[in-house]
Every structure is written in structure tokens, then in C-alpha cells.
Structure 1
Amino acid sequence: MKKNLKTGLAVLFSLIFQTFLFAQTTGTFLVKGNCSMCKDRIESTAKKNGAKTAVWNSETQTLQVEFDPNKTTADGILKKIADAGHDNEKYTAPDAVYSKLPGCCLYDREPSFIKQNASTPTEKKVFFVKGNCEMCKDRIESTAKQAGATTAIWDAATQKVTLDFDSAETTAEAILKKIADVGHDNEKFKAPDEVYRKLPGCCLYDRTTEFTEPNPHVHSDGKEAVAPKKDFSSHDEHFDKQIEGVTVTKAQAATAIDGKNAGLTFNISGKELLKAACCNLSESFETNATVDVSYSNAVTGTKQLKMLGLDQKYTALSKELLPEIRGLAAAYGLNFIPGRWIGGIQLTKGGSTVTNGYESITGQINTELLKHQDKTETSMNIFGDINARTELNITHVSPLNDHWNQSILFHGNGTFAKVDSNDDGFLDQPTGTQMNATYLLNFSDLEHSGWGTHFGINALQDRRNAGQMNYNKALDQSEQPAYGVGIDISRFQVWNKTGYIFKGKPYQSIGWMNQYTYHQQDSFFGLRNYFGRQNTLYSNLIFESIFGNTNHKYKTGASFLYDKYDEDYLSLNYRRTETVPGIFFEYTLTGARYTLVAGARTDFHNLAGTQFTPRLNFKYDFTPKTILRLSAGKGFRTANVFAESQGYFASNRAIEIRDNGGKIYGLKPEIAWNYGASLQQDFKIFGRKSTVIADFFRTDFKDQVLLDLDQSPQKMVFYNLDGRSFANSFQTQWDLTPAKNFDVRLAYKYYDVQADFEGGRREIPFMAKHRGFVNLAYATAKNDKGGFWTFDTTLNLVGKQKLPNLNSNPAEFRLPEYSDPYNTLNAQVAKNLNDKTRIYLGGENLTSTMQKNPIIDAKNPFGNYFDGGMIYAPVMTANVYLGLDLKF
């Protein structure tokens, strides 16, 4: 393995060395423009005319280009940019071309760059100067100007400073000497050690790579300089340079914070999902510290997500930005999105955009399915564990022509073994099968016609059985002596998203999303029957454009939601139809260091009344590596008390609903405000990138439907909040890479969740105040065949939890006031044999942590004290699984 590691490093350094050895000529030039459209036009024109790279900055009005002087010249590139409509320091754009630019692109043409340059004999050069942050940038630029530079622009990404100076007044060496004297190594001088050590912590850049020799490739015209033949890869520079057909790119992070988003959003890639078994969406967050995954009961084995200290129902769960896990799908919907189908997940904490609806209170989790690949690829995944749970996933993604591509996704699973590891007579997990298939068809011709569309269709059948070991599902329920659970779910969806980008106005677009969902559940829990049917139609029309320029963007539109519910519980029938037309507007203001997103929507709910929902997100970059985010927003939803409480159906608790005059089960809708703040700090440790983020969120309910489990062990009582209900959530997370290919994620979470129940304020049950999280991931270097090993392990530490009051039960059927703390350990090792074959072996709950007696009075399931919903810890021993991934 050491030999392979050395070989890999030698190849990597050889490629980087060749990149700089045969480096292109670089130059920085003044080019006029206004907005992001100007940026796209300038950069694309430069690249079309020979530039290898081109980066235009609207604030400094400078274009930095890299090109092969044997193929083109700076003059040639600047001439073409002027022909496209942009004045620059060498050429003026034709008036006829300038006048036809979009309104937001009409920059001020006076004063002229050419006039300025003609009267100011300055010399311009580009040099490498080391630094880290915004403080470094200020120090480097101000020092250069004090040393005689007329202008100085330092870029953290490229580690280059561009200097303009009068050669009769000063020299490049004199300026760079002064920059070194204040603590910044550069290609000509090294900073004194005592000065470097006194820099602020965020400014302590990596000094292992030296640039002390002069740059031998400065051209006599003073305008272009070749990068020195050194490796600057210790900095977070993004390499995308092709060397004789070989492309070297920066590795994609498995989970990354979206630096451009005003909200606190995590982008979770497929790389993260491979760290665990990830058989479905509920298991996709086992290596993520933000979401808590817990079992809801010991009989049906379903998992639920919690975020910011509140149940899954307060988080908007979408697929392809369309509503997905809501209504009757709340209990089992996480099982309906297989892990191998997921192309990526966007997780937003706190209030999300108003364009996606009104139901988000604690955040949004959006899942994107596999699609849009450049080449045909068929993948197969085979999975099995020691409890006889098996899976087969087949995905096929292929382009049909230049504009059309398709995805065919198939999933089948089955659990066939009856397991009772704690000998209580009940199955630890249900047996059953699921068949799930999706077809996606995509069209994209944005460059020419401006149109794009996405079509999807999905069908699912999920059947599961649980209960006592001697339950015989072949017998009719009336003849059944044992306690059994049967759940049969059928689901069908069809959706379409169509968008158009206006010709000549890439900032202006219109999109229309539509989806129809049919969901049916037929189920029984012992002698308790529950049947539910839901028909949902969703439509959302969004128009996006700008005010003046792209610093002022807005979205506006209208939505419509239709839900028809028909539920039977025991002998009672509950029917309702919800129709919700809505309108919304959202404005985005982008400045040099800040982004403000302010939006509001009004929804006209036929049963809940008119609801106004404002939301605000603000991001401020103190430096490129120190980011503050603030958010505030409102959300509302209508509770589905039966579907969302199925975790307690496997008990003999009677359901009681206290009518409060509302039009949905006699209850009012739930309305809550959420406020949040987060601080992100990037820095380097061990010479590698590290990120610490701390966030605090508070949710205050104005109205809430409370589930009271404390009034009696034989009841679950629903009623509207009369008083206060709140959830405080604090989390701090540290992501670091202490060694190459070794990633560490550490997190601590604190929750304080309380509500005013009848009888006084109490903690919400089954919510640990303290949680700890450790994730370690290591990958070896690739060998000649593309093979490598990955090792992942996750430790969860869960503090004590408030438990429901069962004190009126006999002593043997009671629970303590608080549970004991516990921890779980998951681990996985995988071998990528090559780019097409991967085998993995893993284990869940390797500490075999188990809740003692998870089912109350399990020996008498038809008695008064039977309760399978009092779950706060795992109910199964260690599970070991084996999987195979193949690509064709």
C-alpha cells in the first residue's frame, strides 16, 4: 500500500509540476461591465478566443486571463471582448454593439480606460503572495500601495497579487520586500519568522512551500507573467487544467455548506451516502450530525427524523423540490426513497424559501434523484444483512440525444426472517416486501431555445407484517389468537417541471411545476383498524427576474395545493378536502459581502383561513472564511393526527380528540415562528482546511396540536395548545482533515423542548437534551486500476430522555422519569476494486445497545397495559450487512 501511495503522490506532483512548467501566460486587464450577465459574456468570449481560464471581477473591473502565447495574444482576446460590447484598456466597444446590450449591462463608459492608460505610464505585474483571509488581503494591498503601487489586487483563490506601479518611482522588488516585511511570503522574499508568528490565527498560512526565487518569466511589457514552476496546492486553489487529456480537479466534499446560500444549507453528495448502509432516506443521515434518526415504535420498526429538537412533521420533506413525505405518508414515507436512487440532498436548517410552500417550520430536506449524466451508465446494488433483509437496486441513466436523457430506477427489498433478540415474543422488525419503480425523462435546450422540462412517474407497493412471533397472517383477523400488525401501502405519483429562460435575458425565467399523488394505506394493529386514502394535486408557477441588475433579483408566483383525505379509524370516518391557493414574492439583494433574501406568501386555506407567511435570511461575510447567517420566519401546517401518530397504534391506548372549534378533527392549524443564527469559521490546521460552525435556533409555537401521553397510560389525547410551546436548539460542529484522505466530524447538540400541557409545563418526551457525535472517514490512495479502500465509523452519544408518565400502571409496567443515556457505534469498510466494482461490509449498533423491555406488558397484548410505543433506544442487537455495487 505504501508503494501505491508513493506512486500516486509521484503522479499527482508530476501532473502539477507539468501544469506550472508549461504554464500559460497570465495577465490582468481592465474591462468594463456591470452584472453577472456581463461576467458570463466577458469570460465566455475570452475562452472562445484562446483563454485557458478567465475570471472577471465586477468590483475591481478587472479580468484575469491565462492563455498560450503561441496560440493567441492578449490584444486578440481584448479585441474580441470589445467586439462583444465591453470597453477595456486597449479597445472600445462599437457603439452599435454597446447599445444592444441588456439594460442591466449598460455600464458607465466615462471615464475611458484607454484615456487613463494613455496618460499614466504604469507597469503591471502578477506575483504569487501567500495569505489566507480578508485580513491578509487588506494587509497585502495596503502595504503594496504604501510602497508605491497605484493599484494592488490580491486574490485568495489564486494566491496572486496584481500590481500597477510607475517604474520610475518604485520597483516590483521593493513592493514585494515590503509585503514580506509585514508577514507574507512571496515568490521573491520570505517573511521574517518573528513577524509571521505575530499574525492573527486566521492569517497563518501554510509555509511548507517556498517561493523565494525571482519569477524568471516576467515579460518586458510588464503586463503578463508566467506562474512560477512551483506547487501551490497547499492552498485551496481549484485546479481544472487539462494536461494532454488528463484533468486534475479538486475532490468534491461529501457534505459541504452552501457558501452562496443565505440560509444554512448543507449539500450532501452521493459520496456521503456511501458511508453507511443507506438503504433508504431514513438511513441517509446516519453520518450527518444535523438530523437525529430514531425508532418510533418496537412493533412496526419505522424510523423518524428529528431536526432542531422537533418531530419530522415540522420539516418540509421534498423530492425534486416537490412535496413528498407529508399527509398520510408521514409515518412510512422515508422508506419510499431508496438510497441508491439519490443523486444528492440539500438540507436547510430554519426557515426556507417561500417559493417552496408554507409548511416548513424547522427546515427543509430536498432529495434529488439520479439524472442528467453525459454518458450511459447502468448500476446494480445487491445488499443483505444477518437478519435476512435483502435488497436489489438497478439504476440506468442514459442520454437519448443532445437534448433528451432518461433515468430508469428500480428497487426491491424483502425481510423474510423472524427475529426476536430480546425474547419478548414480538418481532424486532417487520417482515415484508417493497417494489418501487420510477421513470424520469429530461429535456434541456437552454442555450438555443431556452426550454427545459423534466417528467417523472413512480409506482410503489409496500407490504409489511409484524406482531407476535406466532402471528399467522394467513388467518383472518377475527380468527387470529396472536397480536398481529399488517400494513399495505400503494402509492402512485406523476410530475412535471417545465422552465423557459428568456432569450437574451439569462437572469429572467419562468417555471411551472405540477404533481399528482395517490396514496392508500390499509392496516390493522391487533384489533384496531386504520384505512386512509389521499389524493393530492400540487401546482407552482414561478417567475424570476431582476430590478436593474443581478444584484437585485426577485421571484414571484402562485401555487395551488389540493388535498382530499378519507380516513377510517375503528368505526369512525374522517373526511376532508383542503384547497389552498397562494401567492408569494421573494427579493434577493446581493452586495460585496452580504446576501439578503426576504420573502412573504399569502395562502387562502379553505379550512384554516388566510395565512400570511414572511421569511427572512441574511448572510454576511466578515471575511471569506468567517460567515454569519441570520434567519427568521413563520410556517403553518394542518395536523394529520392519525397518520402522524401510528407509532402509538401498537398499544391499547384509546384516542381522544378535544374539539377546539377547528375544522380539521375539530382542531386548529399549527402555526410557529423560527429564529436562527449561525457563525461559520474556516481555517487551516495541519496545513489543511477545517471548518467550525455553531448555530442556535428557537421555535415558538403560536398554535400547536399537542399529543398528551401523560394523562393516562390507556389514552393518547390530542388538543390545541393553551399557553407556550418552544424548542431551543444549539449545535456546534467541527469538520477537519488531520491527514490526507482522513476526515473527522465532531458535533455536540443541546435541546430544550417544552410545552404547556394540561396540568402544567413539561418537557416533550423522547428528546435527549444532550447529544454527541463523532464521524471518522479514511480513504487510501487509488492504485493503477483505480482501486482503493474506504473506512467509516460513526459514534452517537445520546443523553437521558424524559419518558411518559405510566405511574398509574402496576409497578412492573411503569417507566422511570428519565431513560438512561446510551451510545451506538456504526462502521463500514469498502473496497473499490476499480471504477466499476465496489464491495462493502458494515455493522450497525455494534455496541449491541438495547432498550430493556421495550414493549410494556408484551405477554398480554390485548390487555389494558400493553404499549409498544415507549421507545427511546435501539430494540435490536448488532446488525452486520454486506453489499456489492456494480457499474456497466
Structure 2
Amino acid sequence: MKSYISRIILGVFLLSTQFIFAQHLSKSQFKVKGNCDMCKERIETTARKAGAKTAVYSIDLQTLTLETDNTASTDNIIKKVAEAGHDNEKFKATDATYEALPGCCHYERDLHAKPLENHDHHSKKENEFYVKGNCESCKARIEKAAKDAGADSAEWNAETQTVILNFNSEKTSSDTILKKIAEVGHDNEKYKSNDNTYKNLPACCLYDRNIPFGETNPKVHTEEGTASEHADHNQNNITNENHDNQEKQIEGVIVTGSKAATSLSKKEAGLVFNIDKKELLKAACCNLSESFETNATVDVSFSNAVTGTKQLKMLGLDQKYTSLTKELLPEIRGLASAYGLNFIPGRWIESIQLTKGGSTVTNGYESITGQINTELLKNAEKPETSLNLFADFNGRAEANITSVSPINDKWSQTFLLHGNGTFGDTDMNDDGFLDRPKGTQLNAAYLLNYNDLEKSGLGSHFGINFIKDERTSGQIGFDKKIPQEKQSLYGVGIDISRFQVWNKTGYVFKGKPYQSLGWMNQYTYHQQDSFFGLRNYSGKQHTYYSNLIFESILGNTNHKYKAGASFLYDGYDETYLTNNFKRNEIVPGAFAEYTLTGLKYTLVAGARIDFHNLAGTQFTPRLNFKYDFTPQTILRLSAGRGFRTANIFAESQQYFASNRNIQILQNGGNIYGLKPEIAWNYGASLQQEFKIFGRKSTIVADFFRTDFQDQVMVDLDRSPQQLTFYNLDGKSFANSFQTQWDFTPFKNFDVRLAYKYYDVQADYIDGRREVPFMAKHRGFVNLAYSTNKNNNGGFWSFDTTLNWVGKQRLPNTSSNPEEFQLPSYSESYAVLNAQISRNFNKKIRAYLGGENLTSYYQKNAIVDFKNPFGNYFDGGMVYAPIMKANFYVGLDVTF
């Protein structure tokens, strides 16, 4: 009996001991670097051998979660993990151990932590969960959401980025509470907030979504301010490291990181490049036309030798086939096509989203080769006013003032002011003509933002913009004030007035952060009065655009859809010489788009139908597909249709500075007697990441083909004295291949190399020919280096870009006298740009740069420049720069 009782007592004692020890298991989490399943097995096995009761490693979060009793030292466990080859926040593996790992295990070694014997790592409690936030408003929102979901109490800690929950498990669960917290905009370890919900948080609440859980606290010091409206794009797949370095201090560990100036989104099904304002600071970037000098995707060139304007080309086709939007609203189109790039100052731009190939149907039907969207400055945690002064050595000067400030917790505003003037007579090729026009521009905008997402789910953005631009060009000495008929010199005058007002209003349904309704409206008035020698051209355009979008899910967030309706009105009134052309385009439309998200793939399928009063009913399908073979290997496919109506006068003004007669071969259409332009675009791209020099490197190769079903041909070959427009009869296509390699040979030094091949041909009246002014081969090199920041935040930056352009087919001028004939093909040439900038601190930056440092320029850019009123005069045959090297200086001051 005693033996039986003693056995019971011993059993109870042993069970009690196990229970006591079980209750004293503690859970902790550490940042540990790894790259694959082999890493996961090695880390977990090492941790368990070192004394951990359980060890779970997350490759995605780069975290190791340990359960230990009071006999095991977490420091010893983490040290053993480092000895096995894996850097962590306390200990760093030796170089020899790291190099001995299998190739697939070579993670990026950007966690430069030193052994810290007294490092007090935060150990999560059982009822503690990672929740991201940024300020006191976040704290209040998180704790209120938790209580609304049934928590008895909730305490969010900004330093540890965790919330401690107390709740009755019979009434609710941690999953329910964390889901509710995500629904109000805060990512956590179990649920991710909807992108729209996150973007509509107040500016002060926009936390960094790219930092893994457990690595964020209010000691983080960044130079970037708040996230932009498109932060969900900018956080993905840094393709190169722009070293405007940020230091993140995490409980004694200093982590040095950087944010890309240009990034390629891994999440997007389409090929979308996000260009940050830091990228724009690498060059002069006085306006949008100069914003792509360090970008390999977009080709920038002078349109003619008289007006000095620049044009963009993408996928081997003219700018008119790319949808150019501002705040996702139609911007550079219609009468603004020729000079609209000059109307968006570079210092106003917060970010640019560049989509190659078919873009979403929600933004309209005009995109054929892609879309370039510009977002203006409108986010700041605290009031910030900046002044930019710029001048070059040839008489151009400009000033920009930008002011972004919160009014209260719901309202914020932005003032944007730009003025420029060109006062010098620049004639570098001694032909008697100005290489660029003289004149002035005044440009002012006001933006007002409202955000009450937390309470009412409502947000709104209002903007107004006014532009007055006056330019004079032509022969030196031309006086615009003297009537044309009394002039002995050839002159060009361009006066433009432009006014815009727009609003974007959105509503997120309460309790359904995945469901929203947005309505965009914009009115634009554009007027141009101009003359080119003895030829007059004037035009007025009234445009009203409206777009209503509803977004929700089908069952769960793996199945999303958008549906909506749009309306576009364009009223045109143009006069060329004595001919008047009037038309009204009225286009109601409807669209739908479905997004399917799988573990390794994303499919976006959309279609829209538009009822054009002049072009007829148009059906526009588009498809984008992304497949992740691995996290480092991504394939994208796209296909889609686009259509547009050609504005033949506004889009061909580069040829007005000539004595070509305009001829329109009408084909029964309702727009200048011509039919609309319709094209299909197909694309494929492969994105591959790998390690070189111990750092991440990315290669992107893409191929796109554009096939025109109908096109308005601009024929310069029928006669050097004639410009002929007619509809395509046959085939017209553009093949575009590009490969780009971004890598970092050593710290703070970024390299971008690219090669492009174009094959662009069309069936003209007299046969198939290459489209003129399009080089088959192009090369691109961009180098960027910056020094480390000093104690005041100061550093130097050095940027240089080399563009090599192969030979181009030139229009046929064989019927001209020999001295006025052009060769069949141009020479190849190279253009070198460079800039040095010095940030003295966070407030003051000065820069010095040079454009076309190779000083290559097109000799005799103007055909028969000595006789501008004769039959052979032509200023539109431009294939290269028309100015030699030009130097500039600038100053940025932030208050």
C-alpha cells in the first residue's frame, strides 16, 4: 500500500515538475539571414542542438522564433547560428564560413551587426503580436480596432511595434482582432492591410511596409519623409541601390539600408517601373521631358531645329502612342501633344510610374505602347517649403517654390509655383537661327487633400493649375512685335494658355477595406496661338473627363475585380492657314477588370467598350500575366488593344518650321477625313535577380511587338516639299527588344547598363520602308556614386549617363538640289551627361552639371537655312542634338 502511494506521489511530483518547467518556457524572436529551405533546416537544427526547445525559421520574414527554458541562453543559440554561417542581429558569421555555404544559401549580407553581449532583445509574450504603426494616431486607431473586435484591453508599443492583447477566448480570438486591425490600415504578423486602406491613412501614419516585423521602431531615422500615394508600388523589388542612405537603430543594432531611386515592382502583373524623385535629382530635370535622361526605357530627342522642344518615344514609337497622365488623369494629349512635356516642372514631381506595354483598362483606351503617370508633391508629415534655383550658361534660368503642409489631422495642402525664362541668343552651329526659343513660362498649382478614412471612410483630392507660356524663335534679330508681312526675317511665335481643375474622391466601405468607390473628374482648357514664318496655326481644346470605379472582391482577396464607367468630351477648334477644322468627340464607356492572385502567379484580365461618336463602337481587351518561377525569376506576358484619334496638326508641329505643303488623303473617316488608329501590343519579359560582388543584381529582358490594324501615316518621303497624311493600307509594326542590367560593384556605386534594338517598318503608298528617325541600335550606361553621410547629413553625389544612338533612316530628299540633299542614313553618335551635387545637410543642396559633354551636334540641322522662305527650307529633319555642350548650376533649399 505504501509502495502504491509512493508511486502516486512520485508521479504527481514528476507531472508537477514538468508542468512548472513547461510554464517557464519563454518565446523570443530574432532577425536571422537566410535564403532557401536548406538555410531553414540548418538554422533550425543548429538552434535546437544549442538548447532551444523549439525553433521555427521564416524565410519570408527573415526571423527565427525560439522557445527556451531557463537552462538555455538565447545568446548562445544565436551565436551558434552565426557560427553555422548565418548573420543575425547579435552576431555576424565569419567570411570564410559564409563563403563555404552552398551557392543557393548566399543571402545578401546587409545586416552589419556586431556581437553585443548586453543586447537586450525584445522577447514577445504569448499574447503579444507584431503590428506596424508610426505615431500616436496609429496607437489610438490600433487599440480602438482591437477593442471593437472584442479585446478587453489593448496596448500598442511604438518602440517594439507590438500590441499586447487581453481577451476572452470564448468570445473572440487573436485572429479576429488582428484581422480587424488590418482592416483599419495596419499590417500585422497575420494579416496585411488593403493597399487602398493603407494609402488613405493620414500622412503621419504611413509606416514603412517594406521593413520586416520586429525591425521597426520610432528610433528609425529616414531622409525620405512620408510614403507617396503610390507607396505600394515603390516598396517592391529594389533593382538598384541609390545610396541616399538611411540608418535604422534597433535596440543597439545599427542597420544601414537604402531605398531605390528606380524600382521594378515584383507584385505588379505588368512591367511597371517606379521612378522616385531622387532619380530626378540625378540630372537637370527642369521638366518632364528631361525626367528620363537616366532612364533606359524612354528615348528623348529634339523634335526639330527651330522650336527646341523635346519628344519621348517608347517601344520604338512616337510619344502620341503612350498614355501620359498626371494623378492618373489624362494630361499630355490633343493640342498639348507638342509642348505638354514642358508643363510639368521636375521639382513638382513626387514620383513617376512607367508601364511598358498594355496598361489597365480603368485608365482609358488610348494607351498602345504603355503609360507614364506623374504624381505631384502632396505628402509631408510636417510643413515643408523648398526653393530651387537653376541657371545654365546659355541664358536660361528658372525658379521653383514648393510648399507642402498639413492643415489639421484631416486636411493638407500643396502650393506649387514655377517660373522660367530663356533670354540668351544661342546659336552654336552659326546658321543664324536660335537653337532654342526665347521666352517665359509662369506655372502655378494648388492641391488640397482631405482624409477622414478612419471615421467616415472618405478621402478627396482637389487640384487647380494655370499655365502661361510664350516663346519666340527663328532667325536671330526677329522681332515678334513687328507684323509678319513687314518682317524680313523668319520667325516662330508660340503662345499657350492652359487651365485645369480636377477632383478625385474615394470612399472605403466601413468594415470592408477591400471594397471602395472612386470618382475622378477633370476639366481642361487649352489654347495655342502660333505662327511659323508666314504660316499660322491656332487651336482651342475643351476637355471634360469623368471616371467612376468600384472595387471589391469575389469571396476573398485572391479574387478582386473593378468595374466602372467613364465619359470623355473633347471639343476642338483649329485653324491652319485659312482652313478651319472643328469637331466634338463624345465618348461614354464602361469597363471591368478581374485580378486572380495565386501562390506564384497573378492574372489581370480586363476589357472596356467605348461608344465614340466619330470613331464608332470600340472594344478594348487587355491581359497581363505574371508567374514567379522563384522569388528571383519572374516571367511576365501581356497583350492588349488600344485606339486613339489622331490630331494630325498638333502632333506634327515639328514639321511646321518648313515649307512643306500639307496634304490629307481622306479615307471616309470623320476626323480630318481619316479613320482612327487601332493597334495591338504583345509583350514578354523575364526578370532575374542574382548575386554579384556579394550584392543583389537584376537583369530584365523584354520584347514587345506592336501591330497596327489602322494608322494615320505621316509621310515625309513623297516629296521634300510635302507632308502627307493618309490611312494605312497594309502593315505597320514595331518590334522592340531591351535588356537592362543593374548592379552594385561596391558600396554606394550603382551601375545600369542597357541595350535596345528596334525594328519599325510600315507600308507607305510607294512601298514598305523603315520609319524615319528611329535608330535600330541604342546603348545606355548610367553610373551613380555617393559618399557616406557625415554627422550633419552631408554627402557628395556623382552621376553620369552615356547614350549611344545608332544610325537612323532619314526622309528621302533626292529630288532637292544636291546641296540640300540628306544622306539616306545618319551617323551614329554618343551623348554624355554628368552632374556633381553636394548636400551640405538635410536642408541645402547645390549641384553643377553638363549636358552633351561630347559636344556632338547635327551640322546643317536646318536645310537651306540661308533662304527660309524658299522651297527647300526645312527645320524638321533633326536626328541628333542641335546644341553643343551646355553647363548648368542649381541650388535647393528646404525650410
- After TM superposition, the score normalised by the length of structure 1 is 0.79
* Per-residue deviation, 1:573: 0.9
Q: Secondary structure at the match of 1:493?
A: strand
User: In the aligned structure 1, how far is the partner of 2:611 from the partner of 2:420?
Assistant: 41
* 8 Å contact kept, 2:47–2:80: no
Residues 1:528 and 2:431 are matched in the alignment: no
* Deviation per residue, 1:493-541 (Å, 9 max, x gap): 1111111111111111101100000001111101111111100000000
Identity among equivalent positions (%) equals 70
1:485 to 467, 480, 492: 492
* Per-residue deviation, 1:203: 4.3
User: In the aligned structure 2, how far is the partner of 1:318 from the partner of 1:220?
Assistant: 48
User: In the aligned structure 2, how far is the partner of 1:843 from the partner of 1:290?
Assistant: 22
* Deviation per residue, 1:518-569 (Å, 9 max, x gap): 0011111011111111000000000111111111111110000000101111
User: In the aligned structure 2, how far is the partner of 1:577 from the partner of 1:220?
Assistant: 68
Residues 1:785 and 2:787 are matched in the alignment: no
State the AA in 2 paired with 1:296: S
* 8 Å contact kept, 1:184–1:191: no
Counterpart residue number, 1:770: 777
Structure 1 gap segments, 5+ residues each = 1-118, 227-234
Residues 1:241 and 2:239 are matched in the alignment: no
2:813 to 806, 819, 827: 806
Counterpart residue number, 1:686: 693
Counterpart residue number, 2:368: 361
* Per-residue deviation, 1:666: 1.0
My pick for the range that moved more, 783-792 or 387-396, is 783-792
State the AA in 1 paired with 2:354: L
User: In the aligned structure 2, how far is the partner of 1:420 from the partner of 1:392?
Assistant: 24
Q: Secondary structure at the match of 1:475?
A: coil
* Per-residue deviation, 1:130: 3.9
Counterpart residue number, 1:92: none
2:58 to 155, 169, 191: 155
User: In the aligned structure 2, how far is the partner of 1:560 from the partner of 1:462?
Assistant: 29
* 8 Å contact kept, 2:92–2:112: no
* Deviation per residue, 1:845-882 (Å, 9 max, x gap): 01111111100000011111111000000000110111
Counterpart residue number, 2:545: 538
Task: Classify 1:785/1:478 alpha carbon distance in 2 versus 1 (closer, same or farther; 3 Å).
Answer: same
* 8 Å contact kept, 1:619–1:628: yes
Counterpart residue number, 1:375: 382
* Deviation per residue, 1:387-432 (Å, 9 max, x gap): 1101011111111111111111111111011111111111111001
User: In the aligned structure 2, how far is the partner of 1:192 from the partner of 1:481?
Assistant: 77
Residues 1:816 and 2:823 are matched in the alignment: yes
* Per-residue deviation, 1:161: 4.0
State the AA in 2 paired with 1:510: L
* Per-residue deviation, 1:699: 0.9
User: In the aligned structure 2, how far is the partner of 1:880 from the partner of 1:805?
Assistant: 35
* 8 Å contact kept, 1:327–1:643: yes
User: In the aligned structure 2, how far is the partner of 1:192 from the partner of 1:457?
Assistant: 57
* 8 Å contact kept, 2:34–2:105: no
User: In the aligned structure 2, how far is the partner of 1:276 from the partner of 1:220?
Assistant: 47
Task: Classify 1:425/1:538 alpha carbon distance in 2 versus 1 (closer, same or farther; 3 Å).
Answer: same
State the AA in 1 paired with 2:340: G
User: In the aligned structure 2, how far is the partner of 1:433 from the partner of 1:677?
Assistant: 44
User: In the aligned structure 2, how far is the partner of 1:527 from the partner of 1:830?
Assistant: 45
Counterpart residue number, 1:112: none
* Per-residue deviation, 1:240: 3.0
Q: Secondary structure at the match of 1:242?
A: coil
Structure 2 gap segments, 5+ residues each = 1-21, 130-209, 223-245, 249-256
* 8 Å contact kept, 1:157–1:236: no
Residues 1:733 and 2:733 are matched in the alignment: no
Q: How does 1:619-658 map to 2 (within 5 A)?
A: 619-658=626-665
* 8 Å contact kept, 2:303–2:311: yes
State the AA in 1 paired with 2:766: G
State the AA in 1 paired with 2:745: P
Q: Secondary structure at the match of 2:218?
A: strand
State the AA in 2 paired with 1:694: A
Counterpart residue number, 1:131: 34
Counterpart residue number, 2:141: none
* Per-residue deviation, 1:798: 0.7
State the AA in 1 paired with 2:474: G
* Per-residue deviation, 1:237: 6.4
* Per-residue deviation, 1:755: 0.9
Counterpart residue number, 1:587: 594
* Deviation per residue, 1:446-478 (Å, 9 max, x gap): 111111111111111111011111322121011
Calculate the aligned-residue CA RMSD, in Å. Answer: 3.6
Task: Classify 1:188/1:421 alpha carbon distance in 2 versus 1 (closer, same or farther; 3 Å).
Answer: closer
User: In the aligned structure 2, how far is the partner of 1:369 from the partner of 1:854?
Assistant: 36
My pick for the range that moved more, 130-139 or 257-266, is 130-139
User: In the aligned structure 1, how far is the partner of 2:643 from the partner of 2:474?
Assistant: 36
User: In the aligned structure 2, how far is the partner of 1:577 from the partner of 1:770?
Assistant: 41
State the AA in 2 paired with 1:392: A
User: In the aligned structure 1, how far is the partner of 2:221 from the partner of 2:355?
Assistant: 38
User: In the aligned structure 1, how far is the partner of 2:112 from the partner of 2:100?
Assistant: 17
User: In the aligned structure 1, how far is the partner of 2:400 from the partner of 2:460?
Assistant: 26
Task: Classify 1:147/1:740 alpha carbon distance in 2 versus 1 (closer, same or farther; 3 Å).
Answer: closer
User: In the aligned structure 2, how far is the partner of 1:390 from the partner of 1:726?
Assistant: 41
Counterpart residue number, 1:884: 891
State the AA in 2 paired with 1:519: H
Residues 1:199 and 2:102 are matched in the alignment: yes
Counterpart residue number, 2:168: none
* 8 Å contact kept, 1:491–1:517: yes
State the AA in 2 paired with 1:404: W
* Per-residue deviation, 1:164: 8.8
Residues 1:459 and 2:466 are matched in the alignment: yes
Task: Classify 1:130/1:455 alpha carbon distance in 2 versus 1 (closer, same or farther; 3 Å).
Answer: closer
- After TM superposition, the score normalised by the length of structure 2 is 0.79
* Per-residue deviation, 1:723: 1.3
Task: Classify 1:484/1:137 alpha carbon distance in 2 versus 1 (closer, same or farther; 3 Å).
Answer: farther
Counterpart residue number, 1:602: 609
Counterpart residue number, 2:417: 410
* Per-residue deviation, 1:173: 11
Task: Classify 1:215/1:661 alpha carbon distance in 2 versus 1 (closer, same or farther; 3 Å).
Answer: farther
Residues 1:846 and 2:749 are matched in the alignment: no
* Per-residue deviation, 1:137: 5.7
Counterpart residue number, 1:866: 873
Task: Classify 1:137/1:804 alpha carbon distance in 2 versus 1 (closer, same or farther; 3 Å).
Answer: farther
User: In the aligned structure 2, how far is the partner of 1:586 from the partner of 1:496?
Assistant: 23
